Amino acid sequence: MHFRIADSFQTALRRLAAQEQKAVKETVYDLQTDPSAPGLQFHRIDKSKDPNFWSMRVNRDVRIIVHKTADSFLLCYVDHHDDAYAWAERRKIETHPKTGAAQIVEVRERVQDIVVHRPVVMAAPEAPKPAPRLLFAAISDDDLLGYGVPPEWLGDVRRATEDTLFDLTAHLPSEAAEALLDLAVGETPERRAAPAPEAASPFEHPDAQRRFRVMDGVEELKRALDFPWDQWTVFLHPSQRQVAEQVFSGPARVTGSAGTGKTVVALHRAANILKRDPSARLLLTTFSLPLANALEGKLRLLTGPDSAFVPRTTVLPFRGVARELFTLAQGYDPRTASDEQISGALKSAAAELGVTNFTQRFLVSEWMNVVDAWQVADAAAYREVPRLGRKNRLGPKQREALWPVFARARAILTAQGVISWPMIFGEVTRHYSARADKPFTHVVVDESQDLGVPELRMLSAIVGDGPDRLFFAGDLGQRIFQEPFSWKALGVDIRGRARTLKVNYRTSHQIRRAADRLLPAHSQDVDGNEQDRRGTVSVFNGAEPEVRKFKDSAGERDGVAAWIKGAVADGIAPAEIGVFVRSLAQLSRARDAVQQAGHVQLELSERIEDPAGRVAIGTMHLAKGLEYKAIAVMACDDDILPLKERVETAADEAELDEVYETERHLFYVACTRARDRLLVTGISPASEFLKDFDDGGSIPAQKGVA
């Protein structure tokens, strides 16, 4: 007997009250334990077009919709009695005639005509407007069927316009909806999967597996029901599943715009490696402690809190890994040098040696981005080290004059008993490069775009040889910390093993489209690996993002406070709202706006906290990896974004370009944390980035296609 669960069941379960959810879970456990138990009350839904739809009683009012056959139970939906029956009466489960995938299909004859409602505005008569363009008139029925469109919906698809597209896709299976959205923006959809062989189960088709999963035992079912909002633990898009399960012969990377599920793929890969290899010792790592803590919690959701996988898994940020391995190798905990100590050591070294023809700003930049990053050991190595992208060319004599300054600065830091982070990474790299026995057999890296030279060298040195040893998930458009460099030059060659995800689950079409204006449609890393943002599709519609400019901070405070009040009045919980600013210096502006709205703020830090009904506030850097239904990005003033202090400290033209690029990326990161609503504010004259983000209102309201 197969016991399956549909994503529509989990979505419906999370909408019920807590006590109702508890009762539903108990009933489902009873069903899986003994489907023939006399206490289970089944009733056939007579008005349904599908004869296999039954209702199962939970209590006086709540009913579970079950698709029941001789050899399977499929949990499809759960709701109060009338709503549950209405859902089942409008749907059926069938095998698509062309793709062979099992689908939950809305019965077309029981769906009202799709109409877009617009307010009536009295105005002078206008000339007749041309008929709206039919988006899919030129697409053949055979192609539409190949994309998973149910046959009875072909007529509606052919009549679809920009105004009706999102209303239509809400009724279609997800693979069909994604393909239509691709077509609407001028992209050719990838065939989601080859038609299934006739003998294969329609539930085993990759498209079907994104919405139906077999529950192998009570423990797996318990995880799925205990965390119904985390559907990524059970259901994957076929493109995600392919990357999550593929065995790569060398280092591999998955990329994609914000919200496309790169972290989900990384987590499933980690879980799959642990299941596949009982001797695996896996490191799951990222750039910050909050994100590492979040990853650890999500991996426990995926594998189970009592899983035997946990002892074989280490989850730490890059620096946490380096500190632990340094202490293990050297026998003591390193004291890290502050930025002020490093700058002071360089200043003292230059003064001692009488080197005055280089600015302090240049010395710090050269140390951070070249000498310390590449762990240059002597003058000969400094003559040969690549200075990728740096416009200030240094000839042999200039490097010869500079090297004693860097050597002396390093000696000063050593005398002070402190060590820089790149030095720590370097010591770990040297120690484990010489050893055959490595701490880890596999390394999975999230937010890999923020890896620097020392971090990548270390990760490559601490993992053994073999397939799947290194896997990276990241987005070039979210790089906010590191200058670009060649991975291939460090022995990490991902060419031919780079994949791009295209389906955005987190951010509405409108917010994603506006945020994408901040970045080029096509980007390429130093080694020639490409990331193409074109063709990325958001799977849901939403409100247009708002951009508002104010005369002063009081006006901005009141405007953001009113926006927060409006979001809460519309049913968005305070804990689902975030307010972000560029740096700590502007945090008081976010705090004032939240307090003006009558709410208590949760100030984000390096700790993971329970929001407990509070509006989150923090810097844009801390927004990374988070998600909120509504986000306000405040204080986007002309001298704050890009940050004036960073612009003034750029040592050369290349660094100035890098500052502008990473500041733009940071703004993109903050905006793409929003799911449904986004407000961007600043005091006039506002940031120049807002000109790219807001195209002056040319985006048609409520339209689904660019």
| 150-181 pLDDT tens trace | 999 999 999 998 888 888 988 999 899 888 88
Give a yes or no: residue 447 inside a domain: yes
Checking if the pLDDT of 621 tops 80, the result is yes
Lowest mean pLDDT among 22-26, 167-171, 234-238, 333-337: 234-238
Count of beta carbons in the 10 Å neighbourhood of residue 237: 27
CATH number at residue 216: 3.30.2310.20
Mean pLDDT, residues 385-399: 73
**pLDDT exceeds 80 at position 667:** yes
468 and 597, same structural domain?
A: no
With respect to residue 9, please indicate whether it lies within any of the assigned structural domains: yes
pLDDT at residue 585 is higher than 70 = yes
pLDDT the model gives residue 696:
44
Mean pLDDT of 648-668: 80
Q: Each residue of 395-432: pLDDT tens digit? A: 888 899 999 999 999 999 999 999 999 999 999 999 99
Please give the pLDDT value at position 679. 96
217 or 587: whose pLDDT is higher?
Answer: 587
323 and 268 belong to one structural domain: yes
* pLDDT of 306: 58
- Percentage of the chain beyond pLDDT 70 is 86
Would you call 315 helix, strand, or coil by DSSP? Answer: strand
- What was the pLDDT predicted at 303? 82
Please indicate, yes or no, whether residues 318 and 247 belong to a single structural domain of this protein. Answer: yes
Tell me the β-bridge partners of 315.
284
pLDDT of residue 527: 67
My answer on whether 647 and 561 are in the same domain is yes
Q: Determine contact, residues 5/226, Cβ cutoff 8 Å.
A: no
What pLDDT score does 193 carry? 52
Find the distance separating the first CA and the last CA of the chain, reported in whole Å.
Answer: 47
Are the C-beta atoms of residues 664 and 689 closer than 8 Å to each other? yes
Question: In which band, very low, low, confident or very high, does the pLDDT at 80 lie, cut at 50, 70 and 90?
Answer: very high
Strand-pair partners of 522? 532
**Phi, psi (degrees; rounded to nearest 5) at 681:** -130, 160
94 and 6 fall within a common domain: yes
Which of 63-72, 497-506, 566-575 is predicted least confidently?
497-506
Burial class (CB in 10 A: 0-12, 13-18, 19+), 435: exposed
Tell whether 561 and 674 lie within a shared domain. yes
Query: Which pLDDT does position 304 carry in this prediction?
Result: 72
Give strand pairing partners of 286.
317
Q: Per the domain annotation, does 519 fall within a domain? A: no
Query: What is the count of structural domains for the chain?
Result: 5
Distances (CA, A) of 31 to 1, 4, 226: 12, 12, 16
Look at residue 197 and tell me if it is in a domain: no
Cα separation, 273 vs 262, whole angstroms: 17
Whole-angstrom Cα distance, residue 680 to residue 580?
10
Interatomic CA distance for residues 212 and 104, integer angstroms: 10
Residue among 627, 649, 628, 634 nearest 596 (CA): 634
Task: State the greatest distance between any 2 C-alpha atoms of the chain, in Å, as a whole number.
Answer: 93
Q: How confident is the model at residue 33 (pLDDT cuts 50, 70, 90)?
A: confident
- Phi, then psi, of 10 in degrees rounded to 5: -65, -40
Contact by Cβ (8 Å): 590, 583: no
Reduced to 3 states, what is the DSSP secondary structure of residue 605?
A: coil
pLDDT at 671: 93
Q: Would 230 be classed as within a structural domain?
A: no
Which pLDDT belongs to residue 480? 61
Of 37 and 341, more confident: 341
The reply to whether 591 and 653 lie within a common domain is: yes
CA–CA gap between residue 13 and residue 181 (Å, rounded): 28
Same domain, 63 and 83: yes
| Residue 10 pLDDT | 87
Domain termination residue (choose one: 374, 389, 418): 418
Full domain range(s) for residue 668: 537-693
pLDDT band at residue 607 using 50, 70 and 90 as cut-offs: very low
Q: Look at residue 125 and tell me whether its pLDDT is greater than 70.
A: no
- Lowest mean pLDDT: which of 52-66, 349-363, 478-492? 478-492
Amino acid at 518: L
pLDDT for position 698: 31
Q: In this predicted structure, what is the pLDDT of residue 517?
A: 86
The continuous run of DSSP H or E covering 412 comes out as helix 396-415
pLDDT at 651: 67
DSSP state of 246: P
Q: For residue 701, what pLDDT is reported?
A: 28
pLDDT at 606 > cutoff 60: no
**Which residue, among 538, 569, 565, 577, has the nearest Cα to 678 in the 3D structure?**
577
SS3 at position 528: coil
| Chosen domain end from 350, 385, 418 | 418
For residue 128, name the pLDDT band (cuts at 50, 70, 90): low
What beta strand segments (E) does 512-638 contain? 522-524, 530-532, 537-538, 546-550, 577-581, 601-603, 615-619, 628-633
Cis geometry, peptide bond prior to residue 642 (ω within 30 degrees of 0):
yes
| 657 shares a domain with 623 | yes
Three-class SS state of 2: strand
Whether residues 593 and 661 fall in one domain: yes
Q: Do 247 and 278 fall into the same domain? A: yes
What's the average model confidence in pLDDT over 380-396? 75
CATH number of the CATH domain containing 293? 3.40.50.300
pLDDT digits (tens, 9 = 90+) for 513-561: 888 888 877 666 776 776 666 667 777 778 889 999 999 999 999 999 9
Q: What is the pTM of this model?
A: 0.76
Q: 520 in a domain, yes or no?
A: no
- Residue matched to tokens 């400094």: 382
Query: Is residue 174, in this structure, part of any structural domain at all?
Result: yes
Q: In whole angstroms, give the CA distance from residue 587 to residue 591.
A: 6
SS3 518: coil
Tokens of 677: 């609503």
Question: Is the residue at 513 inside a domain?
Answer: no
Of these ranges, 150-159, 238-247, 621-630, 646-655, the one predicted with the greatest mean pLDDT is: 150-159
Domain boundary among 479, 501, 523: 501
Phi and psi, residue 514, nearest 5°: -65, -45
Whether 307 and 360 map to the same domain: the answer is: no
How far, in Å, CA of 529 to CA of 524, rounded? 6
Per residue in 178-211, pLDDT tens? Answer: 888 888 877 788 665 556 566 578 998 988 988 8
